[in-house]
Structure 1
Amino acid sequence: MRAVVFENWKTFPALKEVDRPVPGPGEVLLKVAGAGACHSDVAIYKDFDAGTPGAVPPPFILGHENSGWIEETGPGVQGFTVGDAYLVYGPIGCGRCRACSRGQDTYCENAASMPYLGTGLGRDGGMAEYVTVPARNLVPLGDADPVAAAPLADAGLTPYHAVKQALPHLDGGGRSALVIGLGGLGQIAVQILTALTGATVIATDMKPEAMRRAEANGAVVAAGGAGQVERIRELTGGRGVDAAFDFVGAAPTIATAAASMAQGSRLTVVGIAGGSYEWSFFTTPYEATITNTYWGTIEDLHEVVAMYRAGQITPEIERFSLDDAPEAYRRLESGQLTGRAVVVPHG
């Protein structure tokens, strides 16, 4: 079969012929419906090396946002029907620690001893015609479009988990939420916040077209650049926002979010641009929290799929054939994509 393979550090991935995988005990073989191309993939092959924290050694097939149809089941697997569509929960932990027992493989206590972090993260992923995954990691899609659903495995799950953790700060009248960075995750975050809360959702980005899309999904927009914080605080009557979500994670965006906070608020840094923030007792609003989240739980993903099937969240996607997968990554690197690139191996 054909697959997009990360072969070496700081090397562009290669489209090549590889052996079709065989499902082992407790696994299924999926015929891939869609595989989302994520900025994390670019970091894996472009930025990471053997000494980078969180790096997973090559070679392996990329693709951690996957959906597909059951093609074959491995030994001991029951309850699945060939041809049914599923979304894949990407993280894979040890399966026996406290975090894994609650479906939060992202925070596996034994991650350091695991041979990989997940499907497409050290273990062969879905940027291929077929992929094997643990049967436990499958979330049924029913009759929903599996191609459009593929990005939900990360671009939907990650903002959903961050928003869900912050919901107590948005419970009540007159609340407001801030979304910084309106790429794939930020756009879905706007939809999730609009669906789950009554808060005023303020969205900001440097790209006018990204803000127009957020506005169409119910957000009030505040342009980036000079006076950005003043505009955000003006939209809250000067009080500041109750919850902020930074999907960039650079030092300037974290500083913008922190300067926009109300007392007793929560700032969640989701983006991994590597920015830092200097906390001060007298400049940070009282009882304001700065935290971070990584991906989400498999229970969260079931809830994301429920929202998708109900029409509450709709990822904006751009489809690519497997032959054009390298072009999808090139356009992702250069910032030329307007939606989430989804590779469709079977047309």
Structure 2
Amino acid sequence: MKAVRFTNWKTFPELKEIDRPTPGPGEVLLKVAGAGACHSDVAIFQDYDADFPVAHFLGPEYTLGHENSGWIEELGEGVTGLKKGDAYLIYGPIGCGHCRSCSRGQDTYCDNVAEMPYMGMGLGRDGGMAEYIVAPARNLVPLGDADPVEAAPLADAGLTPYHAIKTSMRQLEGGGKFALVIGLGGLGQLGVQMLKALTGATVIATDMKADAMAMAERNGAITVEGGPDQAAKIRELTGGRGVDAVFDFVGVKPTVEVAQQVVARRGRITVVGIAGGKVEWDFYTNPYEAELTNTYWGTIEDLYDVADLYRAGLIKPEVTVYPMDKALDAYQDLVDGKVSGRAVVAPHS
């Protein structure tokens, strides 16, 4: 079968012919419906090297793709209750399966991560940029009759903002609340939709790209363009009070600093983007009881919620679909900044 392989650090991936995998005990073989191309993938093959702090989890060679959906093709030994042909999202993180974090479905925070040979599907273990994928049966979230190709990015681009928003709901309860989305790529756009669906907050969104802001406006956000007076304009929209919950989907120093400048007292800044920006904090400039935190992906239970929102028509990822023989083009377009929303490779489309 064809698969997009990460072969070495600082090396663009290759489209290769590899053997079709076979599911082991407790696993399922799925015919891949869609695999989302993510900036995290680009960081792995373009930015990281063997000295990166978690490189031992991510070392080559393997198939990329951690945002995956597919139809069940074959059940491994001991798997029951699942039926061939049904469509599922695949929860990408894989932890030890028996610690406190994994027991609540939060494999991203596995207590025994240091003992794991990989971080998840497409992150050290073969992912979904292929015609078929093997996944633990536990990691499957049913899609019903929803379109699995369009839904594929929800496994990360939907799950990640949902978990960040869910953990900030205390700040958004009640009337007169404001939420700010910084960065309007695939995650930020879904974040805008989720905030509109789940809260009564006024949603403000900011980016440097006019087309991205136009898309956010269509989904109900008030937009502010990036620039030297960005923070002042955002505070003005809140009547000077500040934003109750800020979601930074970029995570570079300037974006976190904007978040710090606009957050309200008792507000919350959640840095979701993993660009690694470093900022200063001090008691006298931080609004009283304002929180600065971060999140990473979410739980399996969260992904069930995301799938429900999608089936109900409350969220809709913006996708550009590529056939398998154009899979490398999807990554090149991502590198070149040509992708609006999410690029999805559909091997069987």
Deviation at 1:226, TM superposition (A): 1.8
Query: For residue 18 of structure 1, what is the aligned residue in structure 2?
Result: 18
Measure, in 1, the Cα distance between the counterparts of 2:215 and 2:348.
Answer: 30
Q: What residue number does 1:192 align with? A: 194
- What is the match of residue 224 of structure 1? 226
SS of the residue aligned with 2:167?
Answer: helix
Whole-Å Cα distance in 1 between the matches of residues 48 and 163 of structure 2? 26
The residue type paired with residue 267 of structure 1 is I
Deviation digits for residues 234-281 of structure 1 (CA, Å, limit 9, x no counterpart): 000000000000000000000001100100000000001110110010
Aligned mates of 1:340, 1:282 — CA distance in 2: 40
CA offsets, 1:45-104, max 9 Å, x none?
111111112231110000000000000000000111110000000000000100000000
2:340 aligned to 338, 341, 347, which one?
A: 338
Amino acid across the alignment from 2:243? V
Where 2:215 maps in the other structure, the secondary structure is: helix
Counterpart for residue 37 of structure 1: 37
How far apart, in 1, do the equivalents of 2:294 and 2:125 lie? 25
Give the one of 58, 61, 74 matched to 2:60: 58
SS in 2 for 1:238: coil
Distance of 1:98 and 1:278 partners within structure 2: 33
Q: Residue type of the partner of 2:324?
A: L
Cα distance per residue 1:165-213 (max 9 Å; x no partner): 0000000111000000000000000000000000000000000110010
Q: Secondary structure at the match of 2:325?
A: coil
Structure 1 residue 339: Cα displacement: 2.2
Instruction: Show the counterpart of 1:213.
Output: 215
Alpha-carbon distance between aligned partners in 1 of 2:297 and 2:96, rounded to the nearest angstrom: 17
Q: How far apart, CA to CA, are the structure 1 residues paired with 2:130 and 2:158?
A: 21
DSSP-derived class of the 2:245 partner? strand
Distance 2:307 2:206 in 1: 26
Q: Distance in 2 between matches of 1:95 and 1:12?
A: 33
Task: Specify the code of the residue in structure 2 equivalent to 1:20.
Answer: R
Aligned counterpart, 1:48: 48
User: TM-score normalised to the size of structure 2?
Assistant: 0.99
CA distance in 2, matches of 1:104, 1:173: 31
Cα distance in 1 between the residues matched to 2:294 and 2:340? 26
CA distance in 2, matches of 1:34, 1:344: 5
Q: Name which of 119, 138, 141 aligns with 1:139.
A: 141
Aligned equivalents of 1:190 and 1:277: distance in 2? 25
Q: Secondary structure at the match of 1:81?
A: coil
Q: CA deviation at 1:219?
A: 0.5
SS of equivalent to 1:53: coil
Secondary structure, in 3 states, of the residue corresponding to 1:323?
A: helix
Q: Which residue of 2 aligns with 1:256?
A: 258
For residues 266-302 of structure 1, what are the alpha-carbon distances to aligned partners after superposition, in whole Å with 9 as ceiling and x for unaligned? 0000001110110010011000000000000000000
Which residue does the alignment assign to 1:101? 103
State the aligned residue count: 347
- Identify unmatched segments of 5+ residues in structure 1: none
Query: Is 2:171–2:245's contact at 8 Å kept on the other side of the alignment?
Result: yes
- Distance apart, 1:223 and its partner CA: 1.2
Gaps of 5+ in 2: none
1:83 to 66, 85, 100: 85
Contact 2:189/2:341, CA 8 A, preserved across alignment: no
Aligned to 1:3: 3
The alignment status of 1:69 with 2:86, answered yes or no, reads no
**Identical aligned pairs, as a percentage?**
69
Q: Residue type matched to 2:328 in 1? A: P
* Correspondence for 1:293: 295
What SS does the aligned partner of 1:279 have? coil
Q: What pairs up with 1:238-257 in 2 under 5 angstroms?
A: 238-257=240-259
Is 1:172 matched up with 2:193? no
